[in-house]
Amino acid sequence: MKTKFIARTTLSIASAIGTRQLWKFDRSNNFWEQDVPAMDDTKFKENFRFSRESFKKICEKVQTIAKSDTNMRACIALEKRVAIGLFALGSSAEYRTVANLFGVGRSTVGEIVLDFCNAVCQVFNKYISSYPPTIAEIKETVNGFCNLGFPQCFGAVDGCHIEIQPRREEAVDYYNYKGWYSVVLLACCDHRSKFTYINIGSAGRNNDSYIFERSSLKKFHEFSDIFSRQSKAIGGVQVPVLLIGDSAFRLSRYIMKPFPYKLNQPNKEKDFNYRLSKCRRVIENAFGQLKARFRKVGRGLEVAPENVNVIIKACCMLHNFSKVENDDVRHTWVRDAKSAASTAPSQPRYTTRAGENNVEAKVIRDAIALSFRK
């Protein structure tokens, strides 16, 4: 008798609770199912940071994140998963806010963003594949920089600190001299502000030159002869195809930097510094566009430290994808990003005179500087 009573009671409780309530809370899907289909193209791009055409192509490329229905519930459709990933990366909103908007759980948003970024890193590799370059690619890029005002240049290199929240036991390594925690994205880009090389994850305490000197980018330019074979005579000096950087880098035969500042600086040095600075702006533009499209990167990544690198890498690849697709960053996004940056921690900046005693490098720099005076 007692057993029958327990069985009836258990059945009654199960019926009252209901299977669905045991699985998840009811959430609204109005934004994705009603609002998004009704958006015009302008509004769609404002929310997801890509055009509808680019969005469709991204969905086609990341099929691996698609899930199958189970006996317990219907899966989240591929398009919605991509939408959640792009919206979360393009918004400064917390994952909890994104979850409420799309009618999913907060932990689900985190899982989807990570799955999406991993898939992008796997299938978008070709969008950052400039090394080793072909002769045609070198000539196209050199011509592009020449039109901007600097000869024999294959790329502008710089570092960008991105705010993170490291574990307490690792925090000291990520504490930069400006007083906040960061990882460094060292990158090189072409004349179109398209990344040609990325190095992600160095601790914020390291400066740009330290990272570059230990990078595969430096090794390739130092030991590969493909750039020296494309040398050009400037002022009687054979100038190889090289990189340009700011005063944080070591002057060498494969990377040009400004002349050190001094009182009564000669005009040839002023002109050289101006030309180099003008052309080096493409890498600053690349970082600015990256942060403008992906506000999550610009505002700082509040994610587990082990997930930081894959998120930044995915955003860099999507940045290049947008360049290929001519899916431009809107001026209002850049303006808003600059406005946000004005109240954010300032970027660490370094200066070194390393390499100023390198005779070969100084001869090359002087030859280029004199050519600007003709």
Question: Is the Cβ–Cβ distance between 150 and 242 less than 8 Å?
Answer: no
What's the predicted TM-score (pTM) here? 0.89
Select from 210, 195, 202 the least CA-distant residue to 131. 195
Number of H helices, E strands in the chain: 18, 7
Residue 342, pLDDT score: 79
10-residue mean pLDDT profile of the chain (374 residues): values are 46 42 54 94 97 97 81 80 97 93 94 96 91 94 96 97 93 94 97 97 94 96 94 95 96 96 91 96 97 94 92 98 96 90 86 94 96 83
Distance CA 285, CA 278 (A): 11
Distance CA 54, CA 57 (A): 5
Select from 313, 310, 307, 346 the least CA-distant residue to 167. 307
Distance CA 182, CA 176 (A): 7
Residue 70, pLDDT score: 59
Measured CA distances, 305 to 12, 15, 170, 215 (Å): 47, 44, 10, 22
Question: Is the Cβ–Cβ distance between 187 and 158 less than 8 Å?
Answer: yes
Question: Is the Cβ–Cβ distance between 248 and 352 less than 8 Å?
Answer: yes
